[in-house]
Amino acid sequence: MATLSSGAMSQPRTPPRRRFGILVGRRRVWTVSSIHADVGRLRTIHSAIENRLQPGDALVYLGNMIGRGTAVRETLDELLSFRRNFIARPAAFASDLVYLRGSQEEMWQKLLELQFAPNPKEVYGWMLDHGLAATLEGYGIDRNHGLGATRDGPVAITRWTNEVRAAVNGAPGHANLLTALRRAAYTEGNELLFVHAGIDPSRPLTAQHDSFWWGGAGFLDLSESFGGFTKVVRGFDKHHGGLQQAPFALSIDRGCGFGGPLAAACLTLDGQIAEAYEA
């Protein structure tokens, strides 16, 4: 089976200060679980959040905004539109809203670096089977052209990935959003840590790497605080177990993109759920 570990393809060299979103001076944090390009459910959740926002609220999208659904253009347009309204509120700042990189966004980044993979055909096939095919279709990209490029070598792959970039660049704001993703986010007082799928408790926050996207085993079994955080919150659970609370962890995923609803929750800094919604 193909893998997308750092050993298979190079990791983007992101400056440390840009890897994480830091929520400063916020009292509550809204979180949205994996969307998987289900724009209809996202619009409903946005309406619920907009009607209940309070001064001092922040918002974190927990990754997998794309993938599995073909309405990727409409989904990113909705995310950008809501961001404009969110940060236009009195006393709100651009840093109050954070998009996390999920496994789908990580696959998208690896797709754009496919020419560097030692086994591009295998990697590409694996990504198609795990949600990438729908994203390509949503941007009007023929997946078979990519398959042909993987047979023809690095030059052909580079030419094709440039075509993929051009398709995304043709949608205003999409490329900027997809390059502004954070690996994780946390409140400035180290109360809440937000991740996509999981963490490796044996490693510090700055050394998590692939655990953010492909981890998750034993997430709710954390026996002590990770890194001094009151609670770690994730937005993708491969079992789609819903809203699950544990002493040091909180999982929010009802299976949007797999036939289930989209989940969102508003958390106070002590890790308690103030409000929860699904659509």
Q: Hey, how many other C-beta atoms are within 10 angstroms of the C-beta on 128? A: 18
Average model confidence (pLDDT) for the chain? 93
Q: pLDDT band at 15, cuts 50/70/90?
A: very low
Contact 207, 20 (CB under 8 A): no
Interval 170-193 mean pLDDT: 96
Please check the confidence at residue 205 and state whether its pLDDT lies above 70.
yes
What percent of the chain is modeled with pLDDT above 70? 94
Residue holding tokens 């997809």? Answer: 178
Q: Which of 6-10, 146-150, 217-221 has the lowest mean pLDDT?
A: 6-10
Please check the confidence at residue 2 and state whether its pLDDT lies above 60.
no
pLDDT at 17: 52
Interval 11-37 mean pLDDT: 82
Please check the confidence at residue 8 and state whether its pLDDT lies above 60.
no
1 compared with 69, residue with greater pLDDT: 69
Please check the confidence at residue 222 and state whether its pLDDT lies above 60.
yes
Give buried/exposed letters for 8-36 (b at 16+ CB in 10 A, else e). ebeeeeeeeeebbbebeebebbbbbbbbb
Q: Count Cα neighbours of 274 within 13 Å in the Cβ-side half-sphere.
A: 15
What percent of the chain is modeled with pLDDT above 90? 93
pLDDT at 209: 85
Interval 247-264 mean pLDDT: 97
Which domains occur in the chain, in start order? Answer: 16-99+181-278 (3.60.21.10), 106-174 (no CATH)
Assigned token pair, 203: 């490693």
pLDDT at 271: 95
Residue holding tokens 């609220």? Answer: 57
Task: Using CA atoms of 138, 139, 145, 147 in order, give the dihedral in degrees to the nearest 10.
Answer: -60
Please check the confidence at residue 145 and state whether its pLDDT lies above 90.
yes
Q: What tens digit of pLDDT does each residue of 82-138 get?
A: 999 999 999 999 999 999 999 999 999 999 999 999 999 999 999 999 999 999 999
pLDDT at 180: 94
Interval 25-30 mean pLDDT: 96
Q: How far apart are CA 197 and CA 213, in angstroms?
A: 5
Helices 39-50 and 72-87, axial angle in degrees (round to 10): 10
Q: Hey, how many other C-beta atoms are within 10 angstroms of the C-beta on 263? A: 26
Please check the confidence at residue 11 and state whether its pLDDT lies above 90.
no
**Between the CA of residue 199 and those of 14, 135, 194, what are the distances in Å?**
19, 26, 10
Interval 223-241 mean pLDDT: 96
pLDDT at 65: 98
Please check the confidence at residue 23 and state whether its pLDDT lies above 90.
yes
pLDDT at 4: 57
